[in-house]
Structure 1
Amino acid sequence: MATTYSISDLAREFDLTPRAMRFYEDMGLLEPARSGPGGRQRVYSSRDRTRLKLTLRAKRLGLSLTEAKQLIDMYDSPRDTGPQLRKFLEVLGQHRAQLEAQLADLQATLKEVAEHEKDARALLAGVDGKAGAKRGRGVRGA
């Protein structure tokens, strides 16, 4: 008999809420069977568990759920793996370029913040120095 999982089993295993699981189902990433009265109980297969694992991995890589679905769906088809791997490399390459652009923007922003911090410290040192000189004169004149 094939292994099956309830929504709470997979939610607990992957530290998700049942609501997130239902969202992934709505997106077409998971396709649980239904059982019980009115088909209200979801029954997830090993295939669903694998698809969920791949979805979460894609999210960690920063891919959108749509991109994740496209890639995961490719592996469900019986086609040659060459086109699938080329598409995967294309998506990863695009994502890498996006991340590198974001990293460059962040590095530029960090450099700008450091310059502002340096300027503010220099101004503060000048203000503190003037205040100290004024206090020092007041003490001497007393």
Structure 2
Amino acid sequence: MPNKEVTYSISELADEFDITPRTLRHYEELGLLTPRRRGNTRIYSHKDRFRLALTIRGKRLGFSLAEMRELFELYDADHRSRPQLHSMVAMIAEKRASLRQQQEDIERVLAELDAADIKARETLENMKHH
């Protein structure tokens, strides 16, 4: 029994990731996805599906589409290339620092919201007793 590669249509990926086919075509234009073609039909591979998931997650975390493409290009490139590996390590370190700062900011805002919530609830409770 031959091992058949799992593939996806544009509508299957659009539905799965709750995005439009236009978004998928845009990601393809930017070089993030590289579906095969059968006539006018795009045939997406498991690699395309994985990269789409990474792209969507990366966008949520603040990566630009250009940064995602650069990461994919660095990953696909010859892993024995020192300059490219240095670029990838530097980019990851920069994004990690940015995400840690965002995490600290979020934790600070959550603490302020918690304090405001407690104060508002105490004030409401005191109003009940007067």
* TM-score (ref. length: structure 2): 0.69
Q: What does residue 105 of structure 2 align with?
A: 101
1:119 aligns with 2:127: no
- Per-residue deviation at 1:65? 4.2
More relative contact order, 1 or 2 (CA 8 Å, 6+ apart): 2
Distance 1:42 1:84, change over 3 A: same
Q: What does residue 52 of structure 2 align with?
A: 52
Q: Which amino acid aligns with 1:85?
A: V
The Cα offsets for residues 76-126 of structure 1, whole Å up to 9 and x where unpaired, read as 222433431232122122112112212211211221121111112101221
1:31 aligns with 2:34: yes
Structure-2 separation of matches of 1:70 and 1:113? 43
Equivalences for 1:52-91 in 2 at 5 Å? 52-59=52-59, 62-66=61-65, 67-78=67-78, 79-80=81-82, 81-91=85-95
Q: Percent identity?
A: 31
**Structure 1: 5+ residue stretches without partners:** 127-142
Distance 1:47 1:2, change over 3 A: farther
* Number of positions where the alignment pairs a residue of Structure 1 with one of Structure 2: 121
Q: Which amino acid aligns with 2:27?
A: Y
Larger Rg: 1
* TM-score (ref. length: structure 1): 0.64
Q: Is the 8 A contact 1:30 1:52 kept in 2?
A: yes
Q: Which amino acid aligns with 1:118?
A: E
Q: Which amino acid aligns with 2:115?
A: K
Q: Is the 8 A contact 1:2 1:45 kept in 2?
A: no
- Per-residue deviation at 1:44? 1.8
